[in-house]
């Protein structure tokens, strides 16, 4: 499983393939403009590679300088950019303009399409998708077709990472979400996602509904209130790790990457309560590291291990 920080050679099996958008976040303030790599699926792939997981990303970026910057960012961490991922004329952007009073306006220039993976690619152990890629045509149809094909060979994880400004009607978005849930094993939402999708349900009711659609594990993150992990037989509430918060950028994607790492390394325990507890605590530790520093900087494998050891010592002395 271990990734040495370098992209995998062609033909070598990957543990995880992430399918979804990679884009540039453009932040404009009165002091100037800054650009940063972004896109939830790309952030998850980056986080997985930082955790030592052999990871491929199937995306659509432009053949331009922004695409070059994204590729350098991803492959520098060890992500393998899969063939066909530089397919657009220009790289997508999400622009936030901040006024002096702190108010923000947003603009999106996003195109999403995706080519099927190389037939010679050995199916990974886990396929992850989500965010804009699972809703925005024409690429969303390609994502769904890939999940239909791969679900019998892989664990499929899904994080809708709802962006209302980029979706159609609420009814259409919920239908798209529920159709994809039926193709997945593990679904992770934030509490904001859950409340937008199901405003009349409690978080526990939403988790039960997702399990009823066919998922084996439903995870709902609740920021500083921790996270909820539910299967058909067990529901656990995992506390957040207490830390000094600098900003929350990338926290959900770090949580998702560490959750996938936990699924890969859980051994033979399936989704027993002890396994769920470990999954939740590992993911919470990763998110805590990320929010303790500026920007979307997920932990390395060594940083996460150190944090988990610290938590274990604190727990044993409690």
Residues 285 and 303: their CA atoms lie apart, in Å, by 10
Closest CA to 49 of 23, 14, 77, 76: 77
- Provide DSSP, 266-298: -TT-TT-HHHHHHHHHHHHHHHHHHHTSSSS-P
Both tokens of 260, joined, read: 């996938």
The answer to the question of residue 9 being in a domain is no
Cβ contact 259:271 at 8 Å: no
41 lies in a domain?
A: yes
Sign of CA dihedral 60, 63, 66, 70: positive
- Tokens 């609740």 belong to 222
- Which residues, listed in sequence order, are joined to residue 23 by a DSSP beta bridge? 38
Residue 22 lies in a domain: yes
Is residue 187 in a domain?
Answer: yes
Mean pLDDT check: name the lowest of 44-48, 51-55, 115-119, 233-237: 115-119
Residue 100 lies in a domain: yes
Range of the domain at 45: 16-316
pTM for this predicted structure: 0.92
3-class state of residue 148 by DSSP: helix
Structure confidence by residue, pLDDT tens digits, 198-235: 999 999 999 999 999 999 999 999 988 999 999 999 99
Joined tokens for residue 112:
């999403």
Q: What is the sign, positive or negative, of the torsion defined by CA atoms of 222, 185, 52, 277? A: positive
Maximum separation of any 2 CA atoms in the chain, in Å: 57
Does residue 24 belong to any structural domain of this protein? yes
Contact 79, 56 (CB under 8 A): yes
Residue in 126, 131, 318, 156 with CA at minimum distance from that of residue 239 = 318
Residue 318 pLDDT greater than 60, yes or no: no
Tokens of 181: 């849930």
146 closest CA partner among 235, 30, 19, 261: 19
Q: How far apart are CA 29 and CA 232, in angstroms?
A: 47
User: Of 112, 131, 138, which Cα lies nearest the Cα of 43?
Assistant: 131
Instruction: Give the tokens for residue 100.
Output: 């002096």
**95: how many CB neighbours lie within 10 A of its CB?**
16
Helices (H) and strands (E) in the chain, counts: 9, 13
65/28 Cα distance (integer angstroms):
19
Q: Is the pLDDT of residue 249 over 90?
A: no
What's the confidence (pLDDT) of residue 9?
Answer: 56
Give how many domains the chain has, as a whole number.
1
How far is residue 306 from each of residues 40, 286, 303, 310, measured CA to CA in Å?
25, 11, 5, 6
270-316, pLDDT tens digit by residue?
Answer: 999 999 999 999 999 999 998 888 777 899 999 999 988 888 776 66
Range from 3-7, 65-69, 96-100, 176-180 carrying the lowest mean pLDDT? 3-7
Residue 33 lies in a domain: yes
Instruction: CATH number of the domain at 171, please.
Output: 3.40.1190.20
pLDDT, tens only, 124-177 = 999 999 999 999 999 999 999 999 999 999 999 999 999 888 888 999 999 999
- Say if 229 falls within a structural domain: yes
């Amino acid at each position: 499983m271990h990734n040495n920080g370098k992209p995998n050679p062609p033909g070598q099996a990957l543990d995880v393939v992430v399918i979804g958008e990679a884009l540039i976040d453009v932040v404009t303030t009165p002091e100037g403009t800054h650009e940063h790599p972004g896109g939830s699926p790309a952030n998850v792939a980056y986080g997985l590679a930082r955790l030592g997981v052999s990871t491929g990303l199937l995306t659509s970026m432009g053949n331009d300088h922004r695409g070059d910057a994204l590729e350098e960012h991803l492959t520098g961490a060890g992500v393998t950019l899969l063939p066909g991922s530089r397919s657009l004329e220009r790289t997508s952007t999400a622009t936030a303009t901040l006024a002096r009073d702190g108010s923000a306006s947003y603009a999106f220039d996003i195109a999403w399409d995706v080519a099927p993976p190389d037939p010679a690619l050995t199916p990974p152990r886990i396929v992850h998708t989500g965010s804009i890629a699972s809703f925005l045509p024409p690429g969303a149809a390609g994502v769904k077709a890939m999940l239909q094909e791969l679900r019998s060979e892989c664990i499929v994880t899904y994080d809708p990472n709802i962006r209302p400004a980029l979706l159609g009607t609420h009814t259409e978005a919920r239908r798209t979400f529920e159709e994809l849930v039926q193709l997945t094993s593990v679904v992770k939402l934030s509490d904001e996602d859950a409340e937008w999708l199901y405003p009349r349900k409690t978080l526990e009711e939403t988790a039960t509904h997702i399990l009823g659609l066919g998922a084996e594990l439903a995870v709902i993150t609740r920021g500083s209130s921790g996270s909820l992990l539910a299967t058909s037989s067990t529901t656990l509430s995992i506390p957040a790790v207490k830390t000094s918060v600098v900003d929350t950028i990338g926290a959900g994607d770090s949580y998702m990457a560490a959750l996938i790492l936990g699924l890969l390394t859980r051994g033979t325990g399936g989704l027993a309560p002890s396994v769920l507890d470990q999954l939740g605590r590992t993911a919470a530790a990763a998110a805590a590291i990320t929010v303790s520093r500026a920007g979307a900087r997920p932990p390395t494998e060594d940083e996460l291990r150190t944090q988990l050891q610290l938590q274990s010592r604190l727990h044993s002395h409690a």
